[in-house]
């Protein structure tokens, strides 16, 4: 048993923000009461189980974070990350539930690969879900058997990393996902507009002597797929949105489309200028864009157009990232810095309240993916993160197998102290 004493409990699902004690028995939350009112002596008198007390004075207890967009690179690319090291990184960052993307080798486009990943994921201390591909081998031509994959345990569908350029194929996939009541997530970059991916077409690409990736590459597909979402009735996720596309999503949401949009911490924190400072460590798809684009993302987070914060945790080896900017792969790790970046870039400047930030990192993604998590309430799964919202720290060592991030050495605010999943402390900063 675990007793969390004197925490500031924030539960977005019930809009609760107050001082509480939380008692955990086995894998469930058994009691929530006013701070200081649960007597440890009485518990040990009534129960023979050993009681662990976590003193949470000055700390926030929130539902375990849920990240619906991670790459654990397993199977096929385990020199970058694997299910175990990815799970350790998630726990260190306060995440108790993640959704892994399908662009592995082999691709998660069949039941056998899906079941293998899920079986191995169950051996870890976090809760690992798996999205399946939309198309076989991510080629955007032949649709997978969505019904069979759902039956086998897939939680959604995505060809993440590769856009669906065939509009009719994309529309049929949305329709089929809608019939199954499953979310479908889309990487929105039309390659016809891109000469060099990962770097915004603008002043920085000019300084590097390359063309880069213009924002219209994203906007064109977002506009198309928002219309297809409206017509199909599917729950469509616009992944890692990077700027003016926020306005397009907002418009179609008002028309009734069941749209969801992700914002990554790097897109709401950094601009294209980071590439000049950090080189390939700031290269990602879609690229970091201008300050005006960053402000668009913040506006979308404030008004709810963007309802999800996801990391797009994308590990790469040091050797890969040391290649020239036009050759190095895109992507950065993000699980271990996500909460702190949300506090540093959104809460501290006053853009979002702590409750609003956590809503986009807990209950919103959990509900979209039909997960029974994302809330702190009596009888609910004992999954939560305990963190100091004011502690300053500097990322320098990672539980991830990779360290490709521009945030190394940057002072951040907000430090995870404990992560609890299924009633067990799976990470402790103590």
Distance CA 221, CA 192 (A): 11
- Which two structure tokens, joined as six digits, stand for 131? 């999205």
Token pair 């799976």 is found at 426
CA atoms within 13 A on the CB side of 369: 29
C-alpha 108, offset from chain centre: 19
**Active site residue: 225, 307, 312, 388, which one?**
312
Taking a C-beta distance cutoff of 8 angstroms, is the pair 289, 212 a contact?
Answer: no
Among 139, 254, 105, smallest CA distance to 116 is for 105
For 423, residues 6+ apart whose C-beta sits below 8 A from its C-beta are 2, 24, 25, 26, 27, 28, 382
Q: What share of the chain is helix, strand, coil (3-state, %, to 5)?
A: 35, 25, 45
Strand partners, 20: 7, 34
Among 169, 91, 152, 154, smallest CA distance to 127 is for 91
Distance CA 273, CA 282 (A): 9
**Antiparallel, parallel or unpaired: β 384-393 and 412-421:** antiparallel
Distance CA 307, CA 351 (A): 14
Can 312 be counted among the known catalytic residues?
yes
Catalytic residues, which ones?
312
């Amino acid at each position: 048993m675990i007793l969390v004493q004197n925490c500031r409990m924030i539960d977005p699902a019930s809009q609760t923000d107050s001082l509480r004690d939380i008692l955990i028995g086995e894998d469930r939350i058994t009691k929530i009461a006013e701070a200081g009112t649960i007597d440890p002596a009485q518990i040990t008198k009534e129960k023979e189980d050993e009681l662990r007390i976590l003193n949470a004075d000055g700390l926030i207890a929130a539902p375990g974070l849920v990240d619906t967009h991670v790459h654990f690179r397993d199977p096929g690319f385990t020199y970058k990350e694997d299910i175990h090291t990815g799970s350790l990184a998630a726990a260190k960052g306060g995440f108790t539930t993640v959704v892994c993307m399908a662009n592995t080798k082999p691709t998660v486009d069949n039941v056998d690969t899906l079941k293998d990943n899920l079986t191995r994921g169950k051996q870890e201390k976090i809760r690992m879900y798996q999205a399946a591909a939309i198309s076989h081998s991510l080629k955007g031509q032949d649709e997978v058997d969505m019904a069979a994959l759902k039956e086998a345990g897939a939680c959604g569908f995505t060809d993440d990393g590769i856009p669906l350029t065939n509009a009719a194929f994309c529309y049929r996939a949305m329709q089929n996902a809608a019939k199954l009541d499953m979310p479908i997530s889309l990487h929105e970059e039309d390659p016809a507009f891109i000469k060099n991916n990962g770097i915004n077409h603008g002043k920085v690409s000019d300084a590097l002597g390359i063309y880069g990736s213009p924002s219209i590459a994203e906007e064109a597909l977002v506009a198309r797929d928002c219309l297809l979402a409206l017509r199909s009735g599917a729950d469509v996720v616009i992944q890692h949105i990077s700027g003016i596309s926020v306005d397009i999503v907002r418009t179609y949401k008002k028309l009734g489309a069941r749209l969801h949009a992700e914002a990554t911490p790097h897109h709401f924190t950094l601009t294209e200028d980071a590439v000049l400072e950090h080189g390939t460590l700031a290269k990602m798809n879609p690229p970091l864009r201008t300050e005006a684009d960053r402000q668009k993302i913040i506006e979308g987070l404030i008004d709810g157009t963007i309802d999800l914060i996801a990391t797009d945790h994308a590990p790469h080896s040091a050797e890969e990232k040391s290649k020239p900017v036009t050759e190095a792969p895109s992507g950065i790790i993000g699980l271990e810095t996500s909460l702190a970046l949300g506090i540093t870039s959104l809460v501290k400047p006053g853009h979002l309240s702590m409750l609003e930030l956590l809503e986009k990192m807990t209950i919103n993604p959990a509900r979209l993916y039909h997960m029974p998590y994302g809330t702190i309430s009596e009888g609910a799964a004992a999954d939560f993160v305990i963190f100091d919202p004011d502690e300053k720290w500097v990322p320098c060592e990672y539980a991830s197998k990779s360290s490709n991030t521009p945030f190394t050495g940057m002072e951040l605010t907000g430090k995870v102290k404990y992560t609890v999943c299924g009633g067990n402390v799976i990470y402790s900063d103590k």
